[in-house]
Amino acid sequence: MPMNYVKTAMLLAFLTAIFVMMGYLIGGSTGMVIAFIVALVMNGFSFWNSDKMVLRMYQAQEVSEANAPEYYRLVQGLAANADLPMPKVYILPSPQPNAFATGRDPHHSAVAASTGLLDISSREELAGVIAHELAHIKNRDTLTMTIAATIGGAISMLAQYLQFSAMFGGGSDENRSSPLGWIGVLGAALLAPFAAMLVQMAISRSREYQADRMGAMICGNPLWLASALGKIERYARGTVNEEAEHAPATAHMFIINPLNGRGVDNWFSTHPATGNRIAALEALAREMNITQSSSAPAYTEEPARQPGGPWSRTARDTDGGRGPWG
């Protein structure tokens, strides 16, 4: 996917330029040089480690076939359908139903689903969600998504620090070193929401539609993902994802926007309207002559399960309150 590599390079260039400009506003030419060096180091580090940082940020727990057999085999079957290497499989300890994929390429990738998603999803719905995330991996969207989240988050944190400095340290040496004085520091601080907007808008909404369509092909039924999206949207709006609220620059990574509008970072939508995505999937199902009950799972030879599956609340209660993720 050469075009995705071009988009990634352009995104990194824009984010680096913002970071360097912030350095200039704070410390003049010296600050600009320091910021440029830091940005180069951060770009290289995030290329190799941003996926691990994001997974750690969300306290993701890696699982295997031994401790989460149903979930793991589902991912395994779908990855085979997509002609992808087996990604690492993670569980996010969050009641908000959601999921994301990460990794710099298909050979270094991971998919992560929340406990909330595993609780409310049927096997078919979960297959639709995981297939969507595998589509992002196959399209190499995850490289752009993860690096954007890491660098954008760093810019936002720096801007918040500078805003605090401008408000409570107007006469400090740091502010006087700026070529524009405290105005420069305050100006840099106000870049925070714009940096977040840049990160969110850089991840084109068309990528979600593309991943929806490809994911439907991978799992074999667009209506499974359509049903999952509607259910996730309903539950996610009533459940706060604390980690996402503290790191809004990562919101674009999830299948549904995890933010609940607590702050300025949520002014800019990172996802297409869920209703529009569902309508597009339903239209695709009509093109494929698929109805809600027209096909058995295409991703595994195991028989279809009843909604809820072994990861459901009922199964966890029966097993002492713990699901297949341990």
Instruction: Pick the more confident residue, 207 or 46.
Output: 207
| Residue 271: other Cβ atoms inside 10 A | 20
Instruction: Pick the more confident residue, 10 or 211.
Output: 211
CB 130 within 8 A of CB 75: yes
- Asked whether residue 40 carries a pLDDT value surpassing 80, the answer given is no
Confidence tier at 224 by pLDDT (50, 70, 90)? very high
- Asked whether residue 144 carries a pLDDT value surpassing 90, the answer given is no
Confidence tier at 323 by pLDDT (50, 70, 90)? very low
pLDDT at position 7: 66
- Asked whether residue 203 carries a pLDDT value surpassing 90, the answer given is no
pLDDT at position 167: 62
Instruction: Pick the more confident residue, 194 or 76.
Output: 76
Strand arrangement, sheet containing 88-92: 61-63, 88-92, 108-114, 99-105
81-113 per-position pLDDT tens digit: 999 999 999 999 999 999 999 998 899 999 999
Provide DSSP, 104-171.
EETTEEEEEEEHHHHHH--HHHHHHHHHHHHHHHHTTHHHHHHHHHHHHHHHHHHHHHHHHHHHH-TT
Residue 252 labeled ligand binder: no
Distance CA 100, CA 229 (A): 13
Instruction: Pick the more confident residue, 51 or 197.
Output: 51
pLDDT at position 200: 59
Helix (H, G, I), strand (E, B) or coil at 290: coil
The chain-wide mean pLDDT, for the chain, equals 77
pLDDT at position 115: 97
Provide DSSP, 71-119.
HHHHHHHHHHHTT-PPPEEEEE--SS--EEEEEEETTEEEEEEEHHHHH
122-132 per-position pLDDT tens digit: 999 999 999 99
Residue 132 labeled ligand binder: yes
pLDDT at position 39: 76
The residues spanned by each domain of the chain are 2-318
Confidence tier at 251 by pLDDT (50, 70, 90)? confident
67-86 per-position pLDDT tens digit: 999 999 999 999 999 999 99
* Residues forming the active site: 133
- Asked whether residue 52 carries a pLDDT value surpassing 60, the answer given is yes
- Asked whether residue 181 carries a pLDDT value surpassing 90, the answer given is no
Relative orientation angle of helices 274-287 and 205-219, to the nearest 10 degrees: 40
pLDDT at position 121: 95
Lowest average pLDDT, out of 183-187, 191-195, 237-241, 305-309, goes to 305-309
Distance CA 233, CA 226 (A): 11
Task: List residues bridging with 112 in a β-sheet.
Answer: 90, 100
Task: List residues bridging with 254 in a β-sheet.
Answer: 100
Confidence tier at 212 by pLDDT (50, 70, 90)? very high
Handedness of CA 166, 172, 173, 177 (dihedral sign): positive
Mean pLDDT over residues 56-77, rounded?
A: 96
| Residue 278: other Cβ atoms inside 10 A | 20
Rg (CA), the chain: 21
Mean pLDDT over residues 225-241, rounded?
A: 91
Mean pLDDT over residues 256-274, rounded?
A: 66
Handedness of CA 303, 324, 310, 232 (dihedral sign): negative
Confidence tier at 141 by pLDDT (50, 70, 90)? confident
Q: Report which of 76, 125, 127, 134 is spatially closest to residue 102, judged by C-alpha positions.
A: 134
pLDDT at position 202: 61
Q: Beta strands 108-114 and 88-92: pairing type?
A: parallel
What global pTM score does this model have?
A: 0.76
Share of residues in the chain with pLDDT > 90 (%): 39
DSSP state for residue 64 in the 8-state scheme: -
273-321 per-position pLDDT tens digit: 899 999 999 999 999 998 765 555 555 444 333 344 444 433 344 343 3
